[in-house]
Amino acid sequence: MNNSTPILSVRDLKVHFPLDEGTVKAVDGVTFDVYAGQVFGIVGESGCGKSVTMKAVLRIVEPPGKIVAGEIILRRSVAGANGSQMDDLINLTALDASGRVMRSIRGAEIALIPQEPMASFSPVHTIGDQIIEAIMLHQAVNQREARKIALQMLKDVGIPIPDQRLDEYSWQLSGGLRQRAIIAMALSCNPRVLIADEPTTAVDVTTQAQVLRLLRRLQQDRNAAIIFITHDLGVIAQMADYVMVMYLGLVMEQGPVDEIFHAPKHPYTQALLRSIPTITMTPRENLPTITGSIPHPFNKPRGCPFHPRCEKSIAGKCDQAVPPLRRIGANQMVSCFLYE
Amino acid sequence: MLRFIAQRLLLLPVLLFLFSVVVFILVEAPPGDFLTSYMATLASGGSSIETEQLEALKQQFGLDQPIHIQYLRWMESLSKGDLGLSLEYQRPNIDLIGERLWLTIALALFAFFITWIIAIPAGIYSATHQNSLLDYVLTVLNYIGVATPNFLLALILMWVAYAQFNVSITGLFSSDYIQAPWSVARVIDLLQHIWLPAIVLGIGGTARLTRIMRANLLDELHKPYVVTARAKGLSEWKVVLKYPVRLAINPLVSTIGWYLPQLFSGSLIVATVMSLQNVGPLLLRALTQQDMYLAGSILLIYCFLTIIGTLISDVLLAIVDPRIRMEGA
Ligand SMILES: Nc1ncnc2c1ncn2[C@@H]1O[C@H](COP(=O)(O)OP(=O)(O)OP(=O)(O)O)[C@@H](O)[C@H]1O
Ligand SMILES: [Mg+2]
């Protein structure tokens, strides 16, 4: 398999939560491609649908949430007739979410580093129990071999005295170690797509740097794709090859990291970048903020969701329809009427 | 762990001593003593008792002594493992309580197992199928179960059985076996009768436990570790049973301790209504007749069971929850 065809393609994905108070359109038409060996960054304010998009990819959206439209295509290579490798496209939205095929993909081909490392291990099962369980689920090994693999995983992510750690409980580990253990578990079955949902929000800056280096190294060693979710544009600049900017369930803009940071097209991306402090700023200067606040998910504005807060919104246009995601430049795409 | 249990066991005599003082004061508290109520009973029956006889009885039981001497005498015999004589029945208390105590424990354990066997699966179903039709049905049943006093349920069941099927479902034995010595046939007879009172006793607890299990599990189902387990590729029922159910049950384990003595004492009204030969009615009669050593012995046994029950649930809690186990270490 080469790196020029996407390993994961999401097309016009919509995930809605029908609640008594109304429907939350958590994800409302998201399209992107992820390639092997790439770090795919996703940024956006809290509640814009980053985690729900990833849960949809794994088909673990909690009820009453439902995928109401769109496709999620995973490319796998299978052995062909004459020993050659053949590509096999599989549409995850068409699978039974709790069926055997989906379960063999979940955790094995696509793995998740969950958003809250502190609470992501069960407190009454040992770390080892939980990692070994994942290994034995997807690999034909016995308990002893699985333990060996788990031990090696803990070593790989840099956990000291791994033998002892395997028999400890998550609350006996420091935040940094717990984060590493979570990463070890996600990597234990050699996934080709690794989803890291804000893997560094709960740890201090030093640990954050270590975790980021670790993810980078693992990704290069294994040629995996990493989908990296964060609020932190600094982390994105450091980690990502390609960036997608989301707002209220929609993609505003996506492109290579250099384009996004040096030639942002969408007014929302521009506003986001203005709101991070730079080294050249005079001290105590007020940071520009985005005016207005994020609308409530039940009454999303008509048209482009960002138009009420947008300085460049075009009356009679932006408040009428959602602009389609259009290609602009080689690898960059933007959803804005300014670029019609 | 062993040290923890040993500590608790060392505390046991101290607690029992404190309880024995309280129990003695309570039993002594009503005005008069056994002989006054005994004479009143005799008088209402038209007969009376000689003064010498009365004095002899008084001396025999030490009722003429001051109260602290009476207590010390009671303690003295208790420390020898002797629960004393019943004033009313003129038989050793240990014989009177003995058989009834085993029946009470058997009944309580049956009720307890019925409660858990029904409540835990029902609670799991309700939580994992929240707002489904069966969840609503179970919720309504739970309201009814919590709200119905169990003696009322006993009366209704007895009436239905009698009116519809013409069978009497009172008692723990059929009439042939009430006085019979223990035999295999008697045990079988007991098993045939015990389940109905056990259900009556357990129904309220079942409803409460189902509701708690449902609520606990609903809390746990949205925790991040459930998402982690699901993201591994485990099947849904394995995810639910291994992780959130385990954590939802843990706090319930600590209720086992006070649940058992509650079943013992809560059975009084039901036992009277259904004429069950357990400790409840015996205690009631001992209290009304001021048969103080019998009442005191029964109450002390309750205290003992409560302490043991609490110890058992503490140990269970430490076994199922490593956070508690290691805190103690
Ligand atoms: N189980 C659920 N029931 C109802 N609404 C939900 C549920 N899960 C998510 N949502 C809604 O979907 C929207 C997107 O949530 P999501 O968790 O994807 O946000 P996010 O971008 O990951 O935010 P954060 O950065 O805070 O993690 C939010 O408006 C949220 O309220
Ligand atoms: Mg999130």
A191 touches ligand 1 (CB under 6 Å): no
Alpha helices in A41-159 (DSSP H): 50-58, 100-105, 127-138, 143-156
What would the pLDDT profile of A221-262 be if each residue is shown by its tens digit? 878 899 999 888 888 998 899 999 999 999 999 999 999 999
The predicted structure's pLDDT at residue A205: 79
Cα dihedral sign, A305-A306-A307-A312: negative
Whether omega before A191 lies within 30 degrees of 0, making that bond cis, reads no
Strands A22-34 vs A333-334: parallel, antiparallel or unpaired: unpaired
Is residue A323 packed enough to be buried (19+ CB in 10 Å), middle (13-18) or exposed (0-12)?
Answer: buried
Instruction: Find how far residue A82's CA is from the centre of its chain.
Output: 36
Q: What number of CA atoms fall less than 13 Å from residue A98's CA on the CB side?
A: 8
A26 at the B interface (CB within 8 A)? no
The predicted structure's pLDDT at residue A252: 93
Is 0.90 surpassed by the pTM of this model?
Answer: no
Are A106 and B233 within 8 A, CB to CB?
A: yes
**3-class state of residue B220 by DSSP:** helix
Q: How far apart are CA B98 and CA B89, in angstroms?
A: 14
CB-nearest partner of B231 from A107, A121, A125: A107
Q: What number of CA atoms fall less than 13 Å from residue B179's CA on the CB side?
A: 0
CA torsion, points B299, B300, B303, B309, in degrees to nearest 10? -110
The predicted structure's pLDDT at residue A278: 63
- Whole-number mean pLDDT of chain A? 87
Are B322 and A114 within 8 A, CB to CB?
A: no
Chain B residues touching A184 at Cβ < 8 A: none
Mutate to test the pocket of ligand 1, among A48, A227, A229 (most ligand atoms within 8 A of CB): A48
CA terminus-to-terminus distance, chain B: 7
The predicted structure's pLDDT at residue B90: 76
Q: State yes or no: pLDDT of A298 exceeds 80.
A: no
Q: How far apart are CA A298 and CA A185, in angstroms?
A: 37
What would the pLDDT profile of B12-61 be if each residue is shown by its tens digit? 888 888 888 888 888 777 666 777 777 777 777 666 667 777 777 777 76
pLDDT class of A1 with cuts at 50, 70, 90? very low
Are A138 and B228 within 8 A, CB to CB?
A: no
**Predicted ipTM of the assembly:** 0.86
Q: Where are the beta strands (DSSP E) in chain B?
A: none
pLDDT class of A152 with cuts at 50, 70, 90? very high
Contact A307, A289 (CB under 8 A): no
Stretch A68-77: mean pLDDT, rounded? 90
Q: How far apart are CA A15 and CA A30, in angstroms?
A: 10
The predicted structure's pLDDT at residue A282: 64
Enumerate residue ranges in chain B where pLDDT < 70.
30-32, 45-49, 61, 260, 262-267, 328-329
Closest CA to ligand 1's atom 25: A46
Helices and strands: H and E segment counts in chain A:
10, 12
CB-nearest partner of B247 from A103, A124, A169: A124
| Residue appearing with tokens 């197992």 | B113
A256 touches ligand 1 (CB under 6 Å): no
A190 at the B interface (CB within 8 A)? no
Chain B residue with the nearest C-alpha to that of A115: B224
CB-nearest partner of A106 from B222, B231, B243: B231
Q: Which ligand is nearest to the CA of A30?
A: 1
* Rounded CA Rg of chain B: 24
User: In Å, how far are A198, B291, B326, B329 from B96, measured between CA atoms?
Assistant: 69, 12, 44, 43
B149: its two tokens: 């006093």
Stretch A20-45: mean pLDDT, rounded? 91
Helix B93-128 and helix B244-253, axial crossing angle in degrees, nearest 10: 150
Instruction: Find how far residue B244's CA is from the centre of its chain.
Output: 30
> What are the residue ranges of CATH 1.10.3720.10 in chain B?
101-325
A62 touches ligand 1 (CB under 6 Å): yes
Contact A229, A197 (CB under 8 A): yes
Residues of B (215-234) whose Cβ lies below 8 Å from A: 222-225, 227-234
Size of interface A-B (CB pairs under 8 A): 78
* Rounded CA Rg of chain A: 21
Are B235 and A98 within 8 A, CB to CB?
A: yes
Q: How far apart are CA A325 and CA A333, in angstroms?
A: 6
Closest approach of B126 to chain A, Cα-based (Å): 15
Comparing CA positions, the residue from A229, A196, A205, A199 lying closest to residue A47 is A229
CA of A297 to the centre of ligand 1 (A): 10
A111 at the B interface (CB within 8 A)? yes
Stretch A77-81: mean pLDDT, rounded? 70
CB-nearest partner of A137 from B234, B243, B247: B234
Stretch A308-330: mean pLDDT, rounded? 86
The predicted structure's pLDDT at residue A108: 92
Closest CA to ligand 1's atom 28: A47
Chain B residue with the nearest C-alpha to that of A168: B322
Closest CA to ligand 1's atom 6: A17
DSSP for A244-292 reads EEEETTEEEEEEEHHHHHHS--SHHHHHHHHTS--TTSPTTPPPP--SS
CB-nearest partner of A103 from B235, B246, B323: B235
Q: How far apart are CA A150 and CA A172, in angstroms?
A: 18
B167: its two tokens: 């069978």
Stretch A183-187: mean pLDDT, rounded? 90
B133 at the A interface (CB within 8 A)? no
Neighbours of ion ligand 2 (CB under 5 A): A 51
A17 touches ligand 1 (CB under 6 Å): yes
Alpha helices in B29-92 (DSSP H): 34-44, 51-61, 67-79
For residue A50, the ligand 1 atom closest to its alpha carbon is 21
Q: How far apart are CA B74 and CA B102, in angstroms?
A: 24
Chain A residues touching B230 at Cβ < 8 A: 58, 60, 106
Chain B residues touching A122 at Cβ < 8 A: 225, 229, 243, 246-247
The predicted structure's pLDDT at residue A163: 93
Are A171 and B323 within 8 A, CB to CB?
A: yes
Closest CA to ligand 1's atom 12: A26
Helix B292-320 and helix B93-128, axial crossing angle in degrees, nearest 10: 30
Comparing A78 with A99, the larger pLDDT belongs to: A99
- The answer as to CATH 3.30.70.920 being correct for domain B101-325 is no
Closest CA to ligand 1's atom 4: A17
What would the pLDDT profile of B116-158 be if each residue is shown by its tens digit? 999 999 999 999 998 899 999 999 999 998 888 888 888 888 8
Contact B249, B317 (CB under 8 A): no
